[in-house]
Amino acid sequence: MRIGLGFDVHPLVEGRELILGGIKVPYERGLDGHSDADVLLHALVDALLGAAALGDIGQYFPPQDPQWLGISSLVLLKEVWDKVSRLGYRVGNVDAVLVAERPRLAPYLPAMRENIARVLEVGLEQVGLKATTTEGLGFTGRGEGIAAFVTVLLFLDKEIPRDL
C-alpha cells in the first residue's frame, strides 16, 4: 500500500474560464496557468505520482512546453494514471479538499467526482471530495486564488482488499 499527498494553488484572474475537476464552473474569473490550471486535478496528479514515487507534475508537463498550453487537466490525469496503473497499482481511495471563498462549489462536486472516478477506473464511493473556505483569511479568503489538497491510497493488484 502507498499513500500520496498532492497540493496545488493557482491565482484567480480575469479572462479565463474556471475549470475544477474537469468541470466548467460559472464564475467571473478563472485560474491562471499554462494548462487549464485545474488545481484539483493537478493536486491529484501529484498525489498519484508521489504515491508511486514517480516525481511531480512539473517533470512530466513542464509549463514552458507549448504542447501543454491550454490542455485539459483530465488529459494530464489520464496520462499519469496510465503510467501508474501500468506499474500494477489500483486506487483504494481519493480524498480531496478544494479551498475557495467563492464561488460556491458544492453544486459541482458530484460531476467532479464522476470525472475523477471515470479516469481512475474506480467507483464513486472511492472518491471523496469536499469544498471549504478559509473564513475570509489568507489569499483564498480574499478571493485571490483557489487551492486543493488531495491524498490517495494505492494498492498493488495483489494487495487490494476484497471488501473494497
User: Can you point out the beta strands (E) in the chain?
Assistant: 2-14, 18-20, 23-25, 29-31, 89-99, 127-132, 145-156
Taking only the tens place, the pLDDT of each residue in 90-135 is: 999 999 999 999 999 999 999 999 999 999 999 999 999 999 999 9
Annotated binding site for a divalent metal cation: 8, 10, 42
The hierarchical CATH code for the domain 2-159 is: 3.30.1330.50
List pLDDT tens digits, range 11-70: 999 999 999 999 999 999 999 999 999 999 999 999 999 999 999 999 999 988 888 888
126 CB-near residues (< 8 Å, 6+ apart): 91, 92, 93, 94, 117, 120, 164
Bind-site residues: 8-10, 34-35, 42, 56-58, 132-135, 139, 142
Number of H helices and E strands in the chain, helices first, is 5, 7
Contact in structure between 133 and 147 (CB atoms under 8 Å): no
Strand partners, 6: 150
